[in-house]
Chain A
């Protein structure tokens, strides 16, 4: 079966711009979670969407937002980009959104802010 698809794979943006990343979960999975991965901080939880509703949110500023569509595809948006937003953004899908087991990650979108 197809895995979790994230697009684009690579992105270069300028400070102050905004960016939208996309995640298509495994067919049948209703939960999508987003994580930011940086060398110093590791993976940090951004938010989780389940059946088009944000169910959990991590400690990130309001510049980070997301949404989920009726087909479970999810997008995350970062506005007013800062240099520190450069990271690998990973999404993970699962059927029930309970985390861990059954959590399949995509290969990520590498965002570079210059």
Chain B
């Protein structure tokens, strides 16, 4: 059965203090690992898709990396506007809801000015 575990559940950082969020996954036939950002009262907003181990993608202060068992979302010199819940999801080739997304429960990030 597909599993996605995100850690930590919550993270408080000082502005400028870099850190990483973790997403560990177990999936049959990975067809993509996705990172989303969700602000309170809004739907998730797409950030990155990673397809194979060793792949990296960057966007502003965010960098996502992928290994065979986990993904990291590195946040460099975060700003208060980076405060949000970050969600990791995987797409599997098989099983219930194949080709749709299986989400972790997210990491709630707070960046303090």
A interface residues with partner B (beta carbon < 8 Å) = 4, 33, 35, 40-45, 48, 56-59, 90, 92, 97-101, 103-108
Contact = CB atoms under 8 A, between A and B. Distances in A.
Contacts of A59: 96
A20 B83 CA distance: 33
B43 A106 contact: yes
B97 A58 contact: yes
B100 interface: yes
A43 B89 CA distance: 9
Nearest to B102: A45
B103 interface: yes
Contacts of A56: 96-100
Given A4-B43, A56-B98, A105-B44, A99 B91 contact: yes
Interface in B56-113: 87, 89, 91, 96-106
A66 to B, nearest CB: 13
Nearest to B101: A99
A45 to B, nearest CB: 4
A105 B96 CA distance: 21
A-B complex: 9 closest residue pairs judged by Cβ atoms: A105-B43, A42-B105, A43-B103, A45-B97, A100-B34, A101-B49, A99-B91, A99-B100, A45-B100
B87 to A, nearest CB: 7
Contacts of A44: 103
21 contacts: A4-B43, A35-B103, A43-B44, A43-B89, A44-B103, A45-B97, A45-B101, A48-B97, A56-B99, A57-B97, A58-B97, A98-B91, A99-B99, A99-B100, A100-B49, A100-B89, A101-B34, A101-B49, A106-B43, A107-B41, A108-B43
Nearest to B88: A42
A42 B106 contact: yes
Contact of B32 (A57, A101, A107, A108): A101
Contacts of B99: 56, 97-99
